Amino acid sequence: MSGTIIKAARNTPHAPQDLGPCTQSVAFSHYNNIAAQLPVDPRTGKLVSGDIKAQARQCLTNIQAIVQSIGHVMDDMVKVTLFLTDITDLEAVDTVYGEFFTHNLPTRTVLAVAALPLGAAIQMDALLSNGEGTFPQAPCPLIKLARNSDRAPQDPLSTQSVAFSHYNNIGAQLPMDAATGALVDGGIREQAAQCLRNIKTVLESIDVPFDDIVKVTVYLTHLADLDAVDEVYRTFFPDSAIARAVAYLPARSVIAASALPLGARVQMDAVVSHGDGTPPQRVEDRHNLVIRARNTDKAPRSPLHTQSVAFSHYNHIAGQLPVDLATGKILTGCVREQTAQCLGHIKTIVESTGHGMDDIVKVNIQLANIADLDAVNAIYTQYFPDYLPARTVIGVSELPAGALVQIDAVMSNAESTPPQV
């Protein structure tokens, strides 16, 4: 592992174990990554019986057990991602969700997916603030800044932006007009532009430049809409003269959703660098606490994103498809071969930044067929033979270019970015 800051990878018997090659929680510096929790009873190792409310409660109970096992509380939560197999279950899920988050609401992303492991109807993962840092960092009484703007759509169960330390997480933005509370008129281009405008409005409300975004995730109900979305996306990135001068683009992942809230065709969330930090941290000059965006020619490049974007103690790796570098096309082969190709690209990117695979703290896997998971795991454990990151796995209705698998990752970055040490 690079540097001297130590990862804290921990499991508790009070939440499900042995459901796959992952660790329940992996902390590094001032954040803790919680692996996706299925509605599994840790006493039996099986899905709980009952309706969607029972499954939602078990997911949240498992998350709470992990959070409490490491000396934290649910109020420390920064972000929750909620995966459903039926979007019409959301209202029932929300009645349970509100029992666990009564104030200091985290940001939230909600989507329906094609399938989940074990045939579950729901799954949730989470990002937790970690004010104590990880060894040898000294504990710091950092403040979580949860903020909303009246100029962007608000949600009674989430906060638009939650900053902690040197990162700010923006909850999923739907193509809603804040003035009307309804989806904007028009097609996919108008919806994509509204999502990005809402993100920009949220950032402007807290005086953060749009080009401080380090990672964007685009959720589409039809991947055929991606070309139209990309046309709009290009008009927002790069945003400033400084960013245009260096052709800065954030990392990005594109995920096919079976359905989105309100019947939207697209939604987007974002991870944002936060050079101000949160009190009592010293305010850094945003252009001195550097965003390090890097590409290597040994992995697939894209005109719409950067392969890896580091800021402070984290580095975000863009979604990797099983692209054959020799042909520029999806690798011909089975899911094992495609998985190895995706992970090989991630390994190449990680090593190009002077890191190793043990520095990865979170992995996200999207499968075109959830039944392929065992085959994927057989390859996955070859790349993570000892230390296992936190992980989220979903089945999706389709992947770009007909791929069978896509993988992105979050990496620890002990050396930080200048001028930190």
Report d(CA 71, CA 255) in Å as an integer: 33
Q: What is the pLDDT of residues 6-22, one digit of tens each?
A: 999 999 999 999 889 99
Residues of the chain with pLDDT > 70, as a percent, come to 97
Burial class (CB in 10 A: 0-12, 13-18, 19+), 397: middle
| CA 153, chain centre distance (Å) | 21
| CA 260, chain centre distance (Å) | 17
Q: What angle do CA 375, 389, 354 make, to 5 degrees?
A: 105
| Beta-bridge partner residues of 81 | 109, 125
- Give the SS3 label for residue 117: helix
- Please give the model's pTM, rounded to 2 decimal places: 0.96
Report d(CA 163, CA 31) in Å as an integer: 11
Q: Is residue 421 pLDDT above 50, yes or no?
A: no
Please count the helices (runs of H) and the strands (runs of E) in the chain: 7, 24
- Give the SS3 label for residue 98: helix
Tokens describing residue 186: 């028009």
286 vs 215, more confident: 215
For residues 89-112, b (16+ Cβ closer than 10 Å) or e, as one string? bbebbeebbeebbeeebbbbbbbb
Place of tokens 């108008």: 190
What domains are defined for the chain? 1-138 (3.30.1330.40), 141-289 (3.30.1330.40), 292-421 (3.30.1330.40)
| CB contact set of 179 (below 8 Å; sequence gap of 6+) | none
Q: What is the pLDDT of residues 279-289, one digit of tens each?
A: 888 776 554 55
Q: Is residue 391 pLDDT above 60, yes or no?
A: yes
Report d(CA 253, CA 400) in Å as an integer: 11
* Contact (CB, 8 A) for 130 and 313: no
Residues of the chain with pLDDT > 90, as a percent, come to 90
274 vs 227, more confident: 227
Q: What pLDDT does 2 receive?
A: 53
| CB contact set of 77 (below 8 Å; sequence gap of 6+) | 67, 101, 106, 126, 127, 128, 129
Q: What pLDDT does 276 receive?
A: 86
Nearest to 410 by CA among 207, 143, 217, 196: 217
Mean pLDDT score of the chain: 95
Q: What pLDDT does 1 receive?
A: 43
Tally of CB atoms within 10 A around 378: 13
* Contact (CB, 8 A) for 352 and 345: no
Peptide bond into 303 cis (omega under 30): no
Tokens describing residue 265: 């065709």
Side by side, the strands of the sheet bearing 161-164 are: 145-147, 161-164, 167-173, 266-273, 213-220, 251-256
Q: What is the pLDDT of residues 319-372, one digit of tens each?
A: 999 999 999 999 999 999 999 999 999 999 999 999 999 999 999 999 999 999
pLDDT range class, residue 420, cuts 50, 70, 90: low
Report d(CA 418, CA 88) in Å as an integer: 46
Q: What pLDDT does 292 receive?
A: 94
Report d(CA 161, CA 223) in Å as an integer: 27
| Beta-bridge partner residues of 128 | 32, 77
Q: Is residue 81 pLDDT above 90, yes or no?
A: yes
